[in-house]
C-alpha cells in the first residue's frame, strides 16, 4: 500500500513463464495447445515450447544431460513412453498424486496409463498415444492376411507388387518389431519381477519370423536400413502391397499420394499364429514435471490442461496424433481424422509395454545390435546370444 505523496505503486509480480520441452511437432498443434492453456489460466502463467529434435534418441540425450545437471528451466517434459522408469528412478520427474493424478488418468485407455507408471506410482500424464497397424493395397489384396506367414506368402505370390515395408534398421524400431513379435508369440523380454525372461519357444518363434521376412524377396533390399519414414515413402511409390507402420502414414498418403490412399486398407498387425492374440507395442508422449522446476504447482496445472480431452482432440485433428482418452474414439471429429478409429482403439486396449526398467535404453541397444541385420539371424543359436546380451544390459555390464 502506498500512503505517502510521490510513492510509486509496486507492480504486481509477472506471471511465470513455463517451458514445455517436447519434440518439434510440425503441424503446430502443440503450439496451439500451449497458447490455449496459457489463455485458460487467466494470466496465471505463460507456456512456451522448447522444441526438441525429431529423433527420440537425440531428445533423450539432450534431456538427460540437462536433468542430470539439475536444470531448473525444465518445467514440463514431453516424455517418450519408454523413459518413464529411467526418469523416475533418477529422480528427474515429480510424481502425480491426488487430484491431479485422478485428472490425468480419468477415462484413459489403461495401456496408456500403464506406460506412465513405475513401481506403482504415476510419473506422467498420458497425452498422445500410437501403435502400429498393417496397411495394404485393397486393389491387390482381397482379404488381408491374419498372420505373418500368410502375409509373406501372399507378398511373394504377388511378385514385384508384393513388397512388404517394415522397419529393419539397427535402432529402436527394430526393438519394437521384435518386442511385438515376442509378445504375440506369448513371451516377454522381462519377467513381471523385472528379471530376464526371453523364454526359449516364443523367442525362437519371433526370430524365425524375422529371419523369414528378411530372407524373402518380398522384403526388398532396403530392409536393413529402413525406418518408419522410409517405409512410408516406399509405400507411397505405389509399388509395395503391405506396410507395417504408425497412423501418420494415412494423412501422408492422402496428401502426397492420393492414388495410393484411394486403395489403402488397414487391419490389425499380423499374428504369429491364428490361435494367439496379436500384441503390438504402445508408443506415444506422456507429460512429466521436471523435478527442479521453480513452479511445480503451475507446471502440474498446465500439464493437466495440455493432457485434457480438448487438447487431445486438437492434437488428433491437426497433428494426426491418436488420443489417450477412450471416449474420444467416438468423437465425430476424431473419427473423421481416423476412419480406422475402432481398429486403433481395439489394438491399443491390448497393447504391450516395452520393458519397464531404468536400463531400458541399454536393453534396447542390446536387442537391436544382436538382431541386425535380420537376414543374419540364426534362430537356433541367437536365443542364447540374445539372452546373454540382454542379461548383460540388465546387470549394467559394459557400455552398449
| pLDDT tens sequence across 146-166 | 999 999 999 999 999 999 999
Are 312 and 328 in contact by the 8 Å Cβ rule? The answer is: yes
Residue 347 is predicted with a pLDDT of 97
Q: How many residues does the chain have?
A: 400
Beta-carbon contacts of 143 under 8 Å, excluding residues fewer than 6 positions away, are: none
**What would the grid cell of residue 25 be?**
511437432
Give me the percent of the chain exceeding a pLDDT of 70: 96
Which residue has better confidence, 28 or 12? 28
Instruction: Calculate helix-pair angle for 228-236, 249-256, nearest 10 degrees.
Output: 40
Residue 305 has pLDDT above 80, yes or no: yes
Nearest Cα residue to 44 out of 311, 314, 299: 299
**Burial class, 396, CB count within 10 angstroms (exposed 0-12 / middle 13-18 / buried 19+):** exposed
Residue pLDDT, tens place only, 334-379:
999 999 999 999 999 999 999 999 999 999 999 999 999 999 999 9
Q: 132: how many CB neighbours lie within 10 A of its CB? A: 26
Residue 400 is predicted with a pLDDT of 43
Residue pLDDT, tens place only, 114-147:
999 999 999 999 999 999 999 999 999 999 999 9
The residue extents of the domains of the chain are: 17-130+283-349, 133-281+359-394
Are 180 and 269 in contact by the 8 Å Cβ rule? The answer is: yes
Q: What is the DSSP letter of 96?
A: B
Residue pLDDT, tens place only, 45-92:
999 999 999 888 899 999 999 999 999 999 999 999 999 999 999 999
Cis-peptide into 373, omega within 30 deg: yes
Q: Could you tell me the pTM of the whole model? A: 0.93
Stretch 199-210: mean pLDDT, rounded? 98
Domain formed by 133-281+359-394, architecture: 3-Layer(aba) Sandwich (3.40)
Reported as type and span, the H/E element at residue 266 is strand 264-267
Residue 169 is predicted with a pLDDT of 97
Q: Three-class SS string for 19-36?
A: EEEEECCCCCHHHHHHHH
Q: 335: how many CB neighbours lie within 10 A of its CB? A: 15
Residue 6 has pLDDT above 60, yes or no: no
Are 70 and 267 in contact by the 8 Å Cβ rule? The answer is: no
Q: Rounded mean pLDDT of the chain?
A: 95
Q: Which CATH superfamily is domain 17-130+283-349 in?
A: Periplasmic binding protein-like II (3.40.190.10)
Distance CA 141, CA 143 (A): 6
**What would the grid cell of residue 218 be?**
518380398
Distance CA 361, CA 354 (A): 11
Amino acid at each position: 500500500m502506498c500512503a505517502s505523496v510521490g510513492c510509486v505503486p509496486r507492480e504486481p509480480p509477472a506471471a511465470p513463464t513455463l517451458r514445455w520441452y517436447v519434440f518439434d511437432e510440425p503441424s503446430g498443434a502443440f503450439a496451439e495447445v500451449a497458447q490455449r492453456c496459457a489463455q485458460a489460466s487467466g494470466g496465471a502463467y505463460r507456456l512456451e515450447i522448447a522444441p526438441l529434435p525429431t529423433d527420440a534418441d537425440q531428445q533423450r540425450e539432450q534431456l538427460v544431460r540437462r536433468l542430470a545437471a539439475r536444470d531448473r528451466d525444465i518445467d514440463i517434459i514431453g516424455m517418450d513412453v519408454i523413459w518413464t522408469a529411467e526418469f523416475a528412478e533418477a529422480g528427474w520427474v515429480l510424481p502425480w498424486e491426488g487430484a491431479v493424478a485422478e485428472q490425468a488418468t480419468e477415462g484413459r485407455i489403461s495401456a496408456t496409463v500403464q506406460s506412465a507408471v513405475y513401481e506403482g506410482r504415476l510419473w506422467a500424464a498420458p497425452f498422445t498415444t500410437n501403435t502400429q497397424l498393417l496397411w495394404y493395397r485393397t486393389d491387390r489384396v482381397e482379404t488381408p492376411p491374419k498372420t505373418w506367414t500368410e502375409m509373406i506368402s501372399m507378398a511373394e505370390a504377388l511378385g514385384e507388387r508384393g513388397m512388404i515395408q517394415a522397419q529393419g534398421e539397427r535402432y529402436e524400431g527394430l526393438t519394437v518389431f521384435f518386442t511385438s513379435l515376442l509378445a504375440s508369440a506369448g513371451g516377454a523380454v522381462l519377467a513381471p519381477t523385472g528379471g530376464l525372461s526371453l523364454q526359449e519357444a516364443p523367442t525362437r518363434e519371433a526370430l524365425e519370423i524375422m529371419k523369414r521376412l528378411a530372407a524373402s524377396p518380398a522384403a526388398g533390399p532396403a530392409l536393413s536400413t529402413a525406418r518408419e519414414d522410409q517405409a512410408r515413402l516406399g509405400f507411397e511409390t505405389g509399388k509395395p502391397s503391405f506396410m507395417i507402420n504408425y497412423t501418420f502414414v494415412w494423412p501422408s498418403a492422402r496428401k502426397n499420394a492420393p492414388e495410393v490412399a484411394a486403395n489403402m486398407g488397414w487391419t490389425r498387425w499380423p499374428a504369429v499364429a491364428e490361435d494367439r492374440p496379436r500384441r503390438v507395442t504402445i508408443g506415444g508422449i506422456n507429460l512429466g514435471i521436471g523435478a527442479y522446476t521453480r513452479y511445480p504447482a503451475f507446471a502440474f496445472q498446465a500439464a493437466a490442461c495440455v493432457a485434457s480431452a480438448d487438447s487431445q482432440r486438437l492434437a488428433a485433428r491437426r497433428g494426426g496424433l491418436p488420443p489417450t482418452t477412450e471416449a474420444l474414439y467416438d468423437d465425430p471429429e476424431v473419427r473423421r481424422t481416423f476412419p480406422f478409429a475402432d481398429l486403433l482403439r481395439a489394438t491399443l486396449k491390448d497393447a504391450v509395454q516395452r520393458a519397464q526398467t531404468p536400463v531400458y535404453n541399454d536393453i534396447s541397444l542390446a536387442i537391436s545390435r544382436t538382431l541386425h541385420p535380420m537376414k543374419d539371424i540364426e534362430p537356433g543359436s541367437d536365443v542364447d546370444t540374445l539372452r546373454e546380451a540382454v542379461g548383460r544390459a540388465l546387470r549394467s555390464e559394459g557400455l552398449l
